[in-house]
Amino acid sequence: MIHTNQQPASGQRGDIYAEITGKIIAQIEAGILPWVQPWAGGSSLSIPKNASTRKPYSGVNILLLWDALFSRGYERNQWLTFKQALSLGGAVRKGEKGTTAVYADSFVPKKEQAAASGDDEPRRVAFLKRFTLFNIAQCDGLPDDLFPPLRAVSQVDPVPSAERLLTASGANIQRGGEQAFYHTGQDFIRIPEQSSFFTPINFYRTALHELTHWTGHPSRLARDFSGRFGSEAYAREELVAELGSAFLCTNLGIVPTVRHADYIGNWLTILKNDSRAIVSAASHASKASDFLLAFTDQAQRAA
């Protein structure tokens, strides 16, 4: 929850945006939130990574790959392009269906190129390009070290990792009271004591949700939804915080859950009116997650 006021922008529709958004709308209407459902445990409780470069995927690709991981029952959250599988000495099995992922690009329209003069920067138009990934389970002949034993999932609350992040962030977190929220004006987080939660692990899920709101402050990531209508802007920021909490939970070994189910109707309205909204929200959430996790990395290096 965030204490603020804010306003919607119309988004250009493109085939890839509409395809991604339509899929997520269908999942939500079927009672599935793609940032909550994919974790039964094991190595699937992770941010998807490229098995060749070891780099994690970000933004909406996390949701797309989580969906494929869950719906097809893959055990390991590692992915490759067709060429990368070959470069590692393996190959994608014949008949395997790939998973669409996307990356952002931009171009300058011809009219803008012609109109540009002097120091004026021509306006660039952003768009998504698709590419295809395959889970390592769809490949043969890959190196054995890509298939380590599946790790067991601990049922112990992962308090230490979450506490380290809360402390390392330097956020003003005030524990106590009966409500959880981030106050934008005074830049602090209020959250009830862990003993107040019926399920203690929900303290961390909630704290990470509010900490994602905290990253939007002008002195940090300056995430500004002003200029949009109040209720819709609020719901957009809540969607960013919901996704951000899920990404952070996954990094810390906590199974994500829905923190604010009462916004689901608002999110559906936004997605139906703006095909770019989920891509934008996932991008903001991924940046917020990376921003916060960097604090723990810095603290570990300083130790």
Q: Is residue 78 part of a domain?
A: yes
Residue 119: what pLDDT? 62
Strands 49-50 and 188-191 come out as unpaired
Q: Would you say residue 115 has pLDDT above 90?
A: no
Instruction: Judge whether 54 lies within some domain.
Output: yes
Rg (CA), the chain: 20
* Structural domain harbouring 226: 2-111+121-147+156-302
Flag whether 189 is in a domain. Answer: yes
Give the mean pLDDT of 267-281.
94
Q: What is the pLDDT of residues 116-152, one digit of tens each?
A: 665 667 777 778 999 999 999 999 999 999 998 887 7
In a domain, 281, yes or no: yes
| % of the chain residues with pLDDT over 90 | 59
- Whether residue 55 lies inside any domain: the answer is yes
Token output for 64: 């797309």
Amino acid 5: pLDDT: 36
SS3 content of the chain, % helix, strand, coil (to 5): 45, 15, 40
Q: Is residue 116 part of a domain?
A: no
Asked if residue 254 lies in contact with residue 162, where contact means CB atoms within 8 angstroms, the answer is: yes
In a domain, 33, yes or no: yes
Q: For the chain, how many structural domains are there in total?
A: 1
Strand order in the sheet with 78-80: 49-50, 78-80, 125-135, 99-107
Question: How far is residue 14's CA from residue 125's CA, in Å, rounded to a whole number?
Answer: 12
